[in-house]
Amino acid sequence: MPATDIERVAVGTLAPDFTLATFGGGTTTLSSLRGKKNVVLVFYRGYWCPYCIGQLKEMRTLLTQELKRNTEMLVVSIDDEKGTQTAVTRISADDTPPDFAFLSDPDHAVIARYGIMNPAGSRRGIPHPATYVIDRQGIVRWRDIQTDYKIRPTNGAVLTAVQALPSR
């Protein structure tokens, strides 16, 4: 499969499963959330991207405490532990740390599986910015993929997609 095929993971399809290293230790497997929680899955370019850091700063307020009971947010980049720590520090600059899981895809296998590799990226393996809303059954119910790295979905658009999912 080509690493760039942004139509590959379409709304209504099963989100490709993966297991990735979680910042701070351990691993996260997408399918382990099936039947338990909805997922907001965000692919960002890296700690060095000001547009990514801005988006992730905003996403700290996306989910209310009530929504967090039913929804998990996972953010994925090619960053290693040091790069992810830099991202977390930048996102937390105003003393509000992110409360979502940072996952590392250093060999960009998951990015390629989702078809969102940016072939014009100046860094090998970076994704196009992409956000997926996945229901408890693992089905993609909403997505936003941008080939212009400066454009990101609004929190309102993502929240509307999350709120449209069944709560049970």
Domain of residue 67, residue span: 19-163
Share of the chain above pLDDT 70, in %: 96
Lowest model confidence (mean pLDDT) among 2-6, 18-22, 81-85: 2-6
Structure tokens at 72: 């998990």
- How many distinct structural domains can be found in the chain? 1
Query: Which residues, 6 or more positions from 9, have their beta carbon under 8 angstroms from its beta carbon?
Result: 15, 16, 114, 115, 132, 140, 143
Tell me whether residue 87 is in a domain: yes
Average pLDDT over residues 31-38: 96
Residue 61 covered by a domain: yes
Q: In 23-104, at which residue ranges do the beta strands (DSSP E only) sit? A: 27-29, 38-43, 71-77, 101-104
Mean pLDDT over residues 32-54, rounded?
96
pLDDT surpassing 70 at residue 22? yes
CATH code where residue 37 lies: 3.40.30.10
pLDDT tens digits for range 108-117: 999 999 999 9
The overall average pLDDT reported for the chain is: 93
